Amino acid sequence: MFLILLNATKMSSGVCNEKVGFIGGGNMAFAIASGLLKKGVLQADQVYVSATNLDNLQKRWSPLGVTHTTVNNLEVVCHAKIVFICVKPQIFPQITSQLRDAVANDYENLKSTLFVSIIAGITLQRLIEDLNLQPYAIVRAMPNTPMQVGVGCTAFSRLSSSSLTDTRYNEMKIMFGALGLAFEVPESQINAITGLAGCGPAYVYQFIEALADGGVKQGIPRAVALQLAAQTVMGAAKTVLDTGKHPGVLKDEVCSPGGATIHGVHALEQGTMRATVMNAVERATKRAEELS
């Protein structure tokens, strides 16, 4: 039997009534926020976001209707009850002292705030120690950017729970689940999931581009080839998810004896496509481990 991932859950979409903050306004924060706004889980006036360049932040986020933009991370922390930390691993040390001081100085107001780290490679234990947070107040998550169109997937972990934050935790699960598949997993799997699902869209985009290039080489107009390639990948992925069949079984169903498909599959095997993809996941996983 083909298992996508153990304990995978498709959460029902709901509405979050809390203010939600994003420290860092880059691609991942934008993907999460834009997806939640499109789904109606959040309204624009509930969203607070901070980044170092206010002009760029406003240009990107104002089309979403988000007006609470700032260069002050503490402003986000003071307003939001769920705070997504969406910065690069190398930027994390620059914000730790500021956030740690905020937690220490306003503990009573912040003790029911849930911080959700989207930082690749940074462990829960390090987050807790560097930010001076209680274990129940921090979640480590790895979403991917297709969340912005509602078909993402997210894995998340926490060390312990508390009645103070279980409500926040459930709200976070609803938000992630509204944007695709949501998985609660042991933290030991997060780096591998980063290499597979977090980085995976980039691998698939390269495949779509290459598939379209092959069509162009055979005389198909570029715009048509790109649509055909993207639709083919989407259709194949949906077939795997909806039928539950192993991809190898579905591949065999397409490969007629002596037909065109098996000749194409042979060419992919000659190019070691499967080994190359496996190597990509392995290298990305190791890089995530290095970042910790």
> Where is the binding site for NADPH, in residues?
73
Sheet strands side by side (includes 82-85): 8-9, 180-184, 152-157, 138-142, 114-117, 82-85, 20-23, 47-50, 68-70
SS3 content of the chain, % helix, strand, coil (to 5): 60, 15, 30
Q: In this structure, is the dihedral angle defined by the CA atoms of residues 109, 51, 132 and 36, taken in order, positive or negative?
A: positive
Three-state DSSP class for 205?
A: helix
Beta-strand pair 20-23/82-85: parallel
In Å, the largest CA–CA distance within the chain is 72
C-alpha angle 288-160-17 in degrees, rounded to nearest 5: 90
> Where is the binding site, in residues?
23-28, 73
Residue 162 token pair: 């508390």
> Where is the binding site for NADP(+), in residues?
23-28
DSSP code at position 165: T
Three-state DSSP class for 77?
A: helix
Q: At residue 56, what are phi and psi to the nearest 5 degrees? A: -65, -40
